[in-house]
């Protein structure tokens, strides 16, 4: 199976400041924001690499080897499928699994729900990539909090493990999952009221973008003071060396 070679979109090369945690404690409604987000260099270390996608198919359809420490077929992937446990149609998991098998990816499926930090450390040990799949963003965030996944993931990212998010997996990497609350088809919130997420990046993402959504997104942005990166299913964001760069085709939209 051939995959498309990928180059960086260079229309924007966005840099952000390292942001204060106090500015990121955001629940429902209006999000607190700091002007610090607009200053340069939010990552003090060049070792941190994240790839945030709208669809997991982006990774299997494109060659992302240049953005990884080694070829993806040589990497050991921790494939986090927790978000899929609270959706009715899990066909996307089957399709993604099939594509990864065809491409000879080495991966372990992991459900973080019900685990604790020590169990997570053991389960994730030795992996080069943490790939967090999409599904129910609220259930995923709840499992992240209850398991201590955030602490474990941040430590591993600091040590060079690559974080790849897909849809819900990208939302939880942001300061808040508030954008997911604007979906037309609402999902079970699983009791989650505090929308604060892992704060791995200082901006928000809108996944699965189609052009008809733009007017509504502009209205939504009036109540959201974080930069909002809009991604269609053929796009992703590479966060590396303190820079945010668009991968894939189509226009880059930042609101």
pLDDT at 43 over 90: no
Residue 242 has pLDDT above 80, yes or no: no
- Cβ neighbours of residue 62 under 8 Å, at least 6 residues apart? 3, 4, 5, 6, 247, 248
* pLDDT tens digits, one per residue of 174-189: 999 999 988 777 778 9
Q: What is the pLDDT of residue 188?
A: 86
Q: What is the pLDDT of residues 126-165, one digit of tens each?
A: 999 999 999 999 999 999 999 999 999 999 999 999 999 9
pLDDT tens per residue across span 81-121: 999 999 999 999 999 999 999 999 999 999 999 999 999 99
Mean pLDDT estimate for the chain: 85
Structural domain spans, the chain: 4-254
Q: Give 65 or 13, the one with higher predicted confidence.
A: 65
| Residues counted in the chain | 255
Task: State the pLDDT at residue 39.
Answer: 32
Q: Looking at the predicted structure, is the pLDDT value of residue 240 above 70?
A: yes
In terms of C-beta density within 10 A (0-12 exposed, 13-18 middle, 19 or more buried), how is residue 240 classed? middle
Answer for the pair 216, 197: CB distance below 8 angstroms, yes or no.
no
pTM for the structure as a whole: 0.85
Looking at domain 4-254, does it have CATH number 3.40.50.880?
Answer: yes
């Amino acid at each position: 199976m051939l995959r498309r070679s990928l180059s960086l979109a260079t229309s924007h090369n966005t840099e952000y400041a390292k942001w204060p945690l106090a500015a990121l404690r955001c629940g429902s409604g209006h999000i607190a924001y700091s002007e610090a987000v607009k200053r340069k260099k939010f990552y003090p270390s060049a070792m941190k690499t994240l790839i945030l996608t709208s669809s997991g198919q982006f990774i299997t359809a494109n060659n992302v080897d240049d953005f990884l420490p080694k070829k993806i077929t040589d990497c050991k992937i921790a494939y986090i499928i927790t978000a899929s446990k609270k959706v009715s149609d899990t066909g996307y998991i089957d399709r993604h699994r099939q594509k990864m098998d065809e491409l000879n990816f080495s991966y372990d499926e992991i459900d973080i729900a019900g685990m604790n930090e020590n169990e997570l450390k053991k389960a994730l040990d030795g992996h080069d990539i943490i790939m967090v799949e999409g599904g129910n963003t609220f259930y995923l965030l709840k499992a992240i909090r209850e398991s201590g996944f955030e602490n474990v993931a941040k430590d591993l990212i600091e040590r060079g493990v690559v974080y790849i998010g897909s849809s819900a997996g990208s939302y939880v990497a942001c300061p808040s999952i508030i954008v997911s609350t604007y979906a037309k088809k609402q999902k079970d919130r699983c009791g989650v009221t505090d929308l604060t997420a892992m704060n791995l990046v200082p901006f928000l993402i809108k996944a699965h973008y189609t052009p008809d959504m733009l007017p509504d997104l502009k209205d939504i942005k009036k109540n959201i003071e974080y930069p909002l990166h809009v991604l269609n299913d053929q796009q992703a964001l590479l966060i590396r060396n303190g820079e945010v760069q668009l991968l894939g085709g189509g226009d880059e939209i930042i609101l």
